[in-house]
Amino acid sequence: MDKLGQEWVSAAVDGEVDEQVLAELAADTDSHEKWRDYHMIGDAMRGELPAAINLDLSANIAAAIELEPSILVPKRVDAPEETPQELPQHKLASVVPLFKQFGQYAIAASVALVAVIGVQNYNQGGVEDAAPMPVLNTRPLIGSASPVSLQTGPVQQNQSYTNERVMEQRHRINTYIQDHMLQQRLNNSANIDDNSEPTPVPVNH
């Protein structure tokens, strides 16, 4: 390191050079030590030395920068080492996580859709059934015993049914359904199927 070079660094420390010279200094690693020493000397003269002097600050910072994960910068692709077949695979690998996430959203969305449609169907089921044929509400809602809602079908419409006769009809329907459910319990075969217990169907008397 010649005398000229030292002066040059010293001038840089004092801020007496232009940008281009600073850039040159940054590139010249050999002058970094000088740069540090001149700063140290300057600090000592001004009485600004810290309690503990870390002599290799710039190296520490450099090491810290080296260790820092590069978040925003994409991974360098070692193009020359790769064969053309490997290249798309590599690219795919970086794309997959995005797709995975997207897929999860898609699945979640479809589940929500199915759930919504399912619930709607479920709620509408009874209403839709009501249109073509009479509906008998055999079970009360939990907590409140809602009365049987038997809607008169086309058969009964051409006859003038009194309220009493509708009750009688409901009662007869209930006895048949109740008996059907009871028979499920009594028929002692393996293939008994009925998930319902023979609780009396609510009838308005």
Partner 1 sequence: MRFIWLALLVLVFPVSAQEELSAKAWLENMSLALKGQEFKMSLIHLQADHIRPLVYIHGMVDEHEVAFLEHLNGPPKNVVRVANTVTFIEHDQPAYSVRADRIQGVLPPAFAGSIADLESGYQFVLGGRSRLAGRPGQLVRIIPNDDNRYSYQVWLDMDTYLPLRYDMLNLEKQLLEQVLVVELIVLDDAPAILHEAYKQDWPEIMPQPQREQADNWQFKWLPQGFKILVKDNHRLIGSHEAVEYIALSDGLVNISVYVARAGETALPDELMTRNGLSLATERVGNAEVVAVGKVPAETLSRIAKSITIE
Residues at the contact surface with partner 1, assessed by CB under 8 A: 118, 121-122, 125-126, 128-129, 133-139, 141-142, 153, 155-156, 165, 168-169, 171-180, 182-197, 200
Q: Would you say 42 or 126 has its CB closer to partner 1?
A: 126
Q: Would you say 11 or 173 has its CB closer to partner 1?
A: 173
> What size, in residues, is the chain?
205
Output the smallest distance, CB 118 to partner 1, in A.
Answer: 7
Residues near 201 by Cβ (< 8 Å), separated by ≥ 6?
136, 138, 139, 148, 173, 174, 177, 178
Distance CA 66, CA 182 (A): 80
Output the smallest distance, CB 174 to partner 1, in A.
Answer: 7
Whether 145 contacts 202, CB under 8 Å = yes
Q: Would you say 92 or 111 has its CB closer to partner 1?
A: 111
Whether 40 contacts 57, CB under 8 Å = no
Q: Would you say 73 or 127 has its CB closer to partner 1?
A: 127
Output the smallest distance, CB 70 to partner 1, in A.
Answer: 38
Output the smallest distance, CB 135 to partner 1, in A.
Answer: 6
Output the smallest distance, CB 184 to partner 1, in A.
Answer: 6
Distance CA 201, CA 174 (A): 6
Q: Would you say 5 or 200 has its CB closer to partner 1?
A: 200
Secondary structure letter of residue 152 according to DSSP: P
Distance CA 34, CA 80 (A): 39
Q: Would you say 56 or 168 has its CB closer to partner 1?
A: 168
Output the smallest distance, CB 204 to partner 1, in A.
Answer: 15
Distance CA 32, CA 9 (A): 9
If you search the block for the tokens 């308005």, which residue do you land on? Answer: 204
3-state secondary structure of 70: coil
Sign for the pseudo-dihedral over CA of 128, 131, 136, 140? positive
